[in-house]
A = this chain, B = another copy of it.
């Protein structure tokens, strides 16, 4: 048929992003993605190599978005930390694929990961190791919260306040 508006690689990846945000990582199947583009799943492979190419693209978008959000947040550590939490909470699926899924380093643009790391270091104002500990704290809080690890009656506002005290 060679449809006049056949999905290009970019169109597929954009639609994957929307599908992820709506249905989550578990809902992001090749068939569901193909449905949205009004083609059949095997046809996707005329444009992309495999599903990991899509995952890698989503991770790239996630890292870039994340860097944007943190950079634009108020410049205190507290503001940055709360922006981290806010973004992660509002984009749980993107967070999952970006920070809870093995990073496909070979398939994301070079420098992207390093750039995000440098940004965190510039915020903490100290060395790599300190920055990593701070990142781990933020990530741990988000991860445990998103996984429903904290009891329902847990005071997360207060928990984050405590966490921010630790890094200040």
Q: In the complex, how many angstroms separate the beta carbon of A64 from the nearest chain B beta carbon?
A: 17
Taking a contact as CB atoms under 8 Å apart, the answer to whether A163 and B133 are in contact is yes
| A57 in contact (CB, < 8 A) | no
| A87 in contact (CB, < 8 A) | no
Docked CA distance A155–B100 (Å): 21
Question: Which of A136, A150, A154, A163 neighbours the largest number of chain B CB atoms within 10 Å of its CB?
Answer: A136
Q: Which residues of A contact B (CB under 8 A)?
A: 99-103, 113, 117, 128-130, 132-133, 135-141, 143-144, 147-151, 154-155, 158-163, 166-167
Q: Contacts A133-B137, A136-B144 known; list 8 others, CB within 8 Å.
A: A100-B100, A129-B158, A133-B159, A137-B137, A137-B166, A138-B140, A140-B143, A166-B167
